[in-house]
Homo-oligomer: A and B are copies of this chain.
């Protein structure tokens, strides 16, 4: 009957165990690390002593000091988890990341990129071996500075950190262009776009050249550029986030005026596309007869009834796994490589030739 509030006299250390087993600490250490052969007899004695003293293995803190690594990789997300995980591609990506890191036996430390109420950013003092930055934009830039100052290996997913920092990127521009060509091939001429946020201010509204010039989120910029490679004058509305609700808002903005109504809308994410579809149907438009809607990401979207979104499928899990693998390489002392992953067109039921 051990009470959990019992004041542990003092945790047993490796030295205690060694002493109790009548061996040196180095021998005891080797029993646990297994890096050298030990006779079965002494191993038994050490293990017995350990069990006896309630020793649960080497203290990770001491080990990490000695070894120079902690087995932890930081992932820096923007803002609240709620926000970061609102994007459905985040989860498969994180999953890929943990997979890619598995070869290291490393865990993932979730860090927020917040101002942090005047505190020193956790990133500056976290015992991590490497850092993965996601979407190096705005505030994330500050994280990059900290990381570089600490001299930690870093990989950037979907963002450009410049100067020889390995990055995992998507062919956003080419993929967006491919989708635009699909729409063009169907015969659409009056087309509009709904973009992801332009910067961390996340202001909604018509995308002017001036606003675009100040934009900081690469994904948004690239996907719009790709679409405009095909439709140079493509009008666009920016959303406040990648969500169905924001898609509805942007959709309304583009569809409310029947005179200026496009026949196709290119959304920069599947969630936005779902919102656009909802907005269209609320206005009595039929998809794809009256309006074609294209998405981006290739996630499974609930809530658009019988529709199957026409979209560009991005390799989300691969993205994370690639980042994890590059981190592993850097930690092994090998030189990392930037990787460029490609999206795949997937036809759905939400795009068709215009009927007008």
Contact = CB atoms under 8 A, between A and B. Distances in A.
Contact of A151 (B3, B8, B63, B109): B8
A41 interface: no
The 6 lowest CB-CB distance pairs between A and B, nearest first, are: A303-B303, A302-B303, A60-B127, A56-B149, A4-B164, A56-B150
Given A164-B5, A302-B302, A61 B71 contact: no
Contacts of A3: 164
A126 B56 contact: no
Contacts of A108: 109-110
Given A61-B65, A122-B71, A125-B60, A81 B107 contact: no
A264 to B, nearest CB: 23
A132 B354 CA distance: 55
A189 B151 CA distance: 67
A95 B109 contact: no
A285 to B, nearest CB: 17
Interface in A55-88: 56-65, 68, 70-72, 74, 80-82, 85
A5 B304 CA distance: 49
Nearest to A4: B164
A98 interface: yes
Given A62-B65, A85-B85, 6 more contacts: A2-B163, A4-B163, A56-B150, A82-B91, A106-B122, A107-B126
Interface string A275-315: 00000000000000000000000000011110000000000
Interface string A257-271: 000000000000000
A1 B286 CA distance: 57
Nearest to A149: B56
Nearest to A304: B303
Number of copies: 2
Given A64-B127, A81-B94, A95-B82, A11 B151 contact: yes
A80 B105 contact: no
A355 interface: no
A347 interface: no
A244 interface: yes
B85 A151 contact: no
A165 B111 CA distance: 27
A279 to B, nearest CB: 14
A71 B244 CA distance: 37
A165 B107 contact: no
A92 interface: yes
10 contacts: A5-B335, A54-B151, A56-B146, A59-B65, A71-B127, A82-B92, A98-B110, A108-B110, A109-B109, A110-B110
A112 interface: yes
A119 interface: yes
A122 B59 CA distance: 13
Among A11, A122, A165, find the residue whose CB has the most chain B CB atoms closer than 10 A: A122
A81 B321 CA distance: 13
Interface in A123-158: 124-128, 146, 149-151
A183 B60 CA distance: 53
Nearest to A97: B81
A110 B107 contact: yes
Contacts of A57: 124-125, 150
A315 to B, nearest CB: 15
